[in-house]
Amino acid sequence: MNIPKNLLPQQWMLIKISSYLLLAALSLTLLIACQKNQPPQLSREAALGERAFNDPSLSASGRQSCASCHAVEQGHGAPNALAVQPGGPQLEARGLRTAQALRYLKTNTRFHFDADSKASGGFFWDGRADTLAAQAAGPLLGAREMANINAATVAQKIAQAAWVNEFKTLYGPNILNDSNQALAKLNQALERYQLEDAQFNGFTSKYDAVLRKAATLSAQEQRGLDLFNDPQKGNCAACHTSTKNPDGSHPLFTDFSYDNLGLPRNFDINENANPHYFDLGLCDRPDLKHRKDLCGAFRVPSLRNVSLRRALFHNGHFKTLEEAMHFYVERDTHPEKWYPKRRDGTVNQFNDLPLELRNNVNTKEVPYDRKRGDNPALNASEIEDVIAFLHTLNDGWNSNSKR
Domain match, 268 and 295 both: yes
| Any domain includes 81 | yes
3-state secondary structure of 299: strand
Query: Which DSSP helix (H) or strand (E) runs through 94?
Result: strand 93-94
pLDDT for the residue 37: 58
| DSSP 3-state percent helix, strand, coil across the chain (nearest 5) | 40, 5, 50
If asked whether residues 384 and 367 sit together in one domain, one would say yes
User: Packing angle between helix 44-53 and helix 179-196, nearest 10 degrees?
Assistant: 100
Last residue of a domain, one of 171, 201, 231: 201
Please tell me whether residues 149 and 172 are part of one structural domain: yes
Sign of the alpha-carbon torsion through 259, 265, 271, 275: positive
Q: What is the model's pLDDT at position 403?
A: 64
Say what the pLDDT of residue 400 is. Answer: 80
Domain boundary among 141, 169, 201: 201
List the domain range (segments joined by +) for residue 160. 44-109+130-201
The CATH number that applies at residue 64 is 1.10.760.10
18 within a domain of the structure (yes/no): no
CA neighbor of 229 nearest in space, from 120, 366, 105: 366
**Residue 377 has what pLDDT?**
98
Residue 34: per-residue pLDDT: 47
The DSSP call for residue 86 is E
Domain count, the chain: 2
Cα 343–chain centre separation: 40
pTM for this predicted structure: 0.90
Please indicate, yes or no, if residue 114 is contained in any of the structural domains.
no
Q: 12 lies in a domain? A: no
Shared domain for 48 and 187, answered yes or no, is yes
- Say if residue 179 is in the same domain as residue 264: no
Helix (H) or strand (E) holding 113: strand 112-113
Residues 227 and 270 reside in one and the same domain = yes
* Residues 174 and 317 reside in one and the same domain: no
Distance CA 55, CA 162 (A): 9
CA distances in angstroms from 193 to 36, 53, 70, 133, 198, listed in the order given: 21, 8, 14, 10, 9
- In terms of domains, do 136 and 239 share one? no
Per-residue pLDDT, 280:
98
- Residue ranges for the chain with pLDDT beneath 50: 31, 33-35
Residue after which a domain boundary falls, among 174, 201, 228: 201
Residue 8 placed within a domain: no
